[in-house]
Amino acid sequence: MLDKVKGGLIVSCQALPEEPLHSSFIMGRMALAADQGGAVGIRANTASDIHEIEKNTKLPIIGIVKRDYEGTPIYITPTMKEIEELAETSCAMIALDATDRVRFQGQKLEEFIKEARTLVPDKLLMADIATLDEAIRAEQLGFDCVSTTLMGYTEQSQGHNIADNDFERLKEILKAVQIPVIAEGHVDTPAKARRCIEIGAHAVVSGGAITRPQLITKAFVEAMRG
């Protein structure tokens, strides 16, 4: 999969239950639209959405399952239950939270990835990280790639944005690790996406700026209000 997405745009097609477009059918159509627009891959949430997306496009899929558990802030593919659900799909890669935070029931990340490798040896594993140190650790633990998905969304990375200072933090990660680095989070314009590739990102993931019309509308409204 990594060869197929190199230098391209991966579109995140997700809608949570409280969002107006929450529907596997709609996400399938979103993925088709992304395909027609030139995307090289799809990031999708839940096995049901992935199954529907598979009906609409042959693009490789990064699969996740977002689920909340008591006692942990981690919600992107947090336990083996979610890995098992994704194992039943044809997604080529599974992304999971690889931040330095307390996991469900205190499980260590190294234990979790070892279990995941055993269950899905045929799927690549992506580390969703928020800091430089987390990216370095992800490479040491054997992840196939890292994504800056959670930068700015954890306590350790609060106030950070990969786009700040001409993507200074993305550049630091690219220098520190050898595995592919995928730029994700706050890549909300075509110019930012292009800059990520120029800097050396393996690929770019963008979601809300493409597939969440309520957020797109909000951006227009706020800009018009000044």
Mean pLDDT of 175-197: 97
The structural domains of the chain, with segments of one domain joined by +, span: 2-225
Please provide the average confidence, as pLDDT, over all residues in the chain: 96
Residue range 17-55, pLDDT digits in tens: 999 999 999 999 999 999 999 999 999 999 999 999 999
Query: Measured between alpha carbons, how far is residue 125 from residues 12, 148, 201, 208 in Å?
Result: 17, 14, 17, 23
For residues 188-192, average pLDDT = 95
- Confidence at residue 48, expressed as pLDDT on a 0 to 100 scale: 98
Structure token digits, residue 182 = 């995928």
Q: What is the CATH number of domain 2-225?
A: 3.20.20.70
Phi/psi of residue 21, nearest 5 degrees:
-100, 15
Query: pLDDT band at 168, cuts 50/70/90?
Result: very high
